[in-house]
Chains A and B, each alone.
Chain A
Amino acid sequence: MNSEVMFYLLAGMILVFSVLTVTSRKILRAAVYLLFVLISTAAIYFMLEYTFLAAVQLTVYAGGIVVLIIFSVLLTSHISEKAIMADRKQSLLSALAVGAGALLTLLTILKFTFVPSALPAQTSTVTDVGNALISYERDGFALPFEVISILLLAALIGAIIVARKEKDNAIIK
């Protein structure tokens, strides 16, 4: 019963702050509401005792992505700026699209019959996660892990190329 109360509290927070994220006209406030959504999601993971995913959620999303968003806002916009309201036609169309998406999701979830599993709930430890990441056998993630690290390396090199000073180019010209 305790966890149910907590779940509804967190779910309510996620809903409220998600709506606030998209309706706020001040961009930095929107980023902060997004932060609250992400932290509430992490809290749900903690509630499910999947602490590893919760910590990843906090590091990558709250501590990484939101910080990045806030940094770019800090560099580009002024405190007095407000986002322009979308005109009526635009908001009507977006409302339709969102409504259709929500309806579709709801219908799918409500129609699907969840079969309760006889197996006990599994809690995976960090050791399990670590072993799965470097295992190349069944249920191993060695290949995706390596592919993603190459992607990250490419992104890093790309960022350096974009951000470095244009000294060399001037010589070539």
Chain B
Amino acid sequence: MAFEKYDFTPLTQAIHKALIENVSPLLTTIIEWTIIGVLFLLFIAIFGLLLVYVERKVCAAFQQRLGPMRVGPWGLLQTIADFVKLLMKELITPKSVDKFLYNLAPFIVIIVPFLTISVIPFAPGLQALDFDIGIFFVTAVSSVGVIGVLLAGWASNNKYSLIGGMRSGAQIVSYELSVGMSLITMVILAGTMQISEIVELQRGGWFLFKGHIPAVLAFFVFVVAGTAETNRGPFDLAEAESELTAGFHTEYSGIKFAFFFLAEYINLFIVSAMATIVFLGGWMPFHFGDWAAFNNVMDFIPGLVWFFIKVFGIIFLIMWFKWTFPRLRIDQILTLEWKYLLPINLFNILLMATMVLLGWHW
């Protein structure tokens, strides 16, 4: 196939071979870990800044404004300037906080996206870790993130932060269930949790089309629950500026605040990437039935580009939610999850299982 030439495996294999021939195995491991770590670090920092810029531009477009325009061409350097400002800000630790937990919380929050990003396949042969529990690993690791939010809310010793932390905790714990269950629905269709295999299985068609009705339902639930799990609008009542003065991160400043901020945007990327992998075929190109010519043209676009086109599509969808819908109340959020999404999900799992059993999918 044409697009196989964009496979990254020869490159990674060549690097590995060059290292193992020249240095000891231990050093090879250490160097490879360092390379991967630095790459992810750079990716998270740069992509986070890019997403902040995209968000401001999208928001501006929805409100018929131009958004940042002054710093750099089309304001492209605006977020970098903002970030430099954040780095130089004083780190204020209020007097009555629990210092250990107060300083620990941002790190717990930022570690989670670092762990989950490791299983995401960006392109053929470009995946750091490929467990046979891939999907489960993502849900397991992201369930730890809420602890950072709760700790930040409590350790700040501030009633706004505490309320924000509690709200966010209740919300994340509830919506985790829907995210997990909609992923389980797709795992039933795929028959595996290994991410590389899930992508490979979609060579003949994306799961969104292969699993038709239940897959579309699961996709809908996943995007809604994923938006809620990343604490984004219209589910952003944990940090509702107007009533809670930013909720759990009220007391944070400088780089620690930047950690919360960055983690939120990278989590947005991870939710979109998971949706892309599970529903939209990961880095697989878009094929239409037996239109050979069309399919061949599609194959010439590299997997990396396909992956980011799909991810940005879903990121745009989630940003669209944020700037269109008004913020929900806490009881409305919990009602939506427990009285609507959860029963829909349970029914959907049954439907998908029946369909797979009877072979009613493509």
Does the CB pair A29–B98 fall under 8 Å?
A: yes
By DSSP majority rule, is chain A's interface helix, strand, loop, or mixed?
Answer: helix
Interface presence of B31 (CB below 8 A): no
Contacts known (A67-B146, A67-B150, A67-B169); A51 close to B98, Cβ less than 8 A: no
Contact of A28 among B29, B146, B154, B176 (CB under 8 A): B154
* Nearest chain B residue, comparing its CB with the CB of A53: B133
Does the CB pair B144–A28 fall under 8 Å?
A: no
Contact of B143 among A64, A74, A126 (CB under 8 A): A64
Chain A residues positioned under 8 Å from B101 (CB to CB): 28-29, 32
* Nearest chain B residue, comparing its CB with the CB of A59: B140
By DSSP majority rule, is chain B's interface helix, strand, loop, or mixed?
Answer: helix
Tell me the bound Cα distance from A62 to B173 in angstroms: 12
- Residues from 73 to 125 in A contacting B, C-beta threshold 8 Å: 73-75, 79-80, 125
Chain A residues positioned under 8 Å from B176 (CB to CB): 63
In the complex, the number of residue pairs spanning A and B with C-beta atoms less than 8 Å apart equals 84
Does the CB pair B132–A51 fall under 8 Å?
A: yes
Does the CB pair A79–B98 fall under 8 Å?
A: yes
Contact of A32 among B104, B132, B166 (CB under 8 A): B104
CB distance from B216 to the nearest CB of A (A): 26
Tell me the bound Cα distance from A73 to B151 in angstroms: 11
Tell me the bound Cα distance from A108 to B136 in angstroms: 37
Chain A residues positioned under 8 Å from B140 (CB to CB): 55-56, 58-59, 63
CB distance from B198 to the nearest CB of A (A): 13
Tell me the bound Cα distance from A28 to B96 in angstroms: 15
* Nearest chain A residue, comparing its CB with the CB of B162: A74
CB distance from B127 to the nearest CB of A (A): 15
CB within 8 Å of B: which residues of A? 1-2, 26, 28-29, 32, 35, 39, 51-52, 55-56, 58-59, 62-64, 66-67, 70-71, 73-75, 79-80, 125-126
